Amino acid sequence: MFAKQGDSRNKVNIKRLTVYAMFVAICLIIGYLENLLSITVLSGVPGAKLGLSNAMVLMLVYADDKKGAWGVNIARIVLSALLFGSPISFLFSLSGGLASLAVAHILSRLKSVSVIGASMASAVTHNVFQLLAATVFMGVSIAYYVPVLIVFGAVCGGVCGLFSQIVLNRTKSKNMFRF
């Protein structure tokens, strides 16, 4: 909805819009590349990926823009399902994505947890909730897979957290997240 000239009530914040659009676009591209360059072959764990698009969302959480983080997260999940996924993969990534962001949101309120810790916790949550979704929607128990996914979540989450930390430190002086 674009505001008419002179109407200040519905004015769209152009910078906010641009940064969010950029983040969603980066998330989609990263997600697509991760699917192509799946680390399944490297690790022997089916379906494993790094989850760098989650790192983008965590950046917004730790730049203290929680609302933006939720918006970008939901937009990226819906769009990537429409572009590359199926209804089932949508349900999977929705349950994982919402739960992991909720955990990151809560942890980011604690002063003693940095983005690395929040990233690890949210990656583990993501993996566990995807398994739960598989159990609920497909009616099978794959509990057997939980330990592997916990280790993978911790490692990949740690890498993503480190990445977020570096980018946040470098953009701090540039006021990227000041709208």
Can you give the C-alpha Rg of the chain in angstroms? 17
Question: Distance (Å, rounded) from C-alpha 51 to C-alpha 53?
Answer: 5
* Nearer CB in complex with other proteins: 1/42: 42
- How many binding residues for other proteins (CB under 8 A)? 35
* Nearer CB in complex with other proteins: 24/48: 48
Question: Distance (Å, rounded) from C-alpha 82 to C-alpha 30?
Answer: 16
Select the residue interacting with other proteins from 25, 141, 171, 178 (CB under 8 A): 141
Site for other proteins in 57-116 (CB under 8 A): 86, 88-89, 107, 110-114, 116
Question: Distance (Å, rounded) from C-alpha 170 to C-alpha 179?
Answer: 18
Select the residue interacting with other proteins from 12, 151, 166, 179 (CB under 8 A): 151
Would you count residue 13 as binding other proteins (CB under 8 A)? no
Least Cα distance to 104 among 144, 69, 148 occurs for: 69
80 within 8 A of 88, measured Cβ to Cβ: no
Question: Distance (Å, rounded) from C-alpha 129 to C-alpha 66?
Answer: 21
Site for other proteins in 109-128 (CB under 8 A): 110-114, 116-118, 120-121, 124
Give the binding site for other proteins (CB under 8 A).
Answer: 38, 40-41, 44, 46-47, 86, 88-89, 107, 110-114, 116-118, 120-121, 124, 134, 138-144, 146-147, 150-151, 153-154
